[in-house]
């Protein structure tokens, strides 16, 4: 599952503004067919609260993890770069005054992930 964390949002966010942001991010991810993502059910968007209010909204940091591996490696790298650009631009459209940075973590083969579901 793709996990997207958005940090340093302005402190005055409403539920409606977060829903708009969520939809913009989902559209950006879905717009890249090679990822194979059809809708929001393949991802989770998190908007963690920041404890320090100073500077919030001036720089927004987006971290993306949990992408599927795309082969060959050159194509994987290009798609990750495209994803970072698409998501950063979609966030920047909603927060005109902010500098938006988006990073997409590559696969770390030593990292293990387990997902459990209740049947």
In whole angstroms, how large is the CA radius of gyration of the chain?
15
What is the number of structural domains in the chain? 1
What's the pTM value of the predicted model, to 2 decimals? 0.87
The domain containing residue 78 runs over which residues?
2-104
Check whether the bond before 72 is cis (ω within 30° of 0): yes
For 74, the token pair is 């050159």
Q: CA–CA separation, 28 vs 37, rounded Å?
A: 10
Instruction: Give tens-digit pLDDT for 32-71.
Output: 999 989 999 999 999 998 877 777 889 999 999 988 777 7
CA 83, CA 35: separation in Å to the nearest integer?
Answer: 9
Percentage above 70 pLDDT, the chain = 90
Q: Which CATH number do you get for residue 25?
A: 3.30.429.10
Domain assignment present for residue 52? The answer is yes
């Amino acid at each position: 599952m793709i996990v997207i964390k958005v940090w340093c949002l302005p402190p005055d966010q409403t539920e409606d503004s977060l829903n708009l942001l969520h939809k913009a991010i989902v559209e950006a991810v879905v717009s890249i067919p090679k990822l194979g993502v059809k809708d929001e059910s393949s991802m989770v968007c998190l908007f963690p609260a920041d404890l320090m209010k100073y500077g919030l909204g001036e720089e927004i940091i987006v971290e993306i993890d949990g992408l599927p591996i795309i082969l060959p490696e050159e194509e994987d790298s290009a798609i990750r770069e495209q994803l970072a650009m698409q998501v950063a631009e979609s966030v920047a459209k909603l927060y005109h005054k902010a500098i938006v940075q988006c990073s997409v973590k590559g696969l770390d083969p030593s990292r293990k992930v387990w997902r459990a579901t209740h049947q």
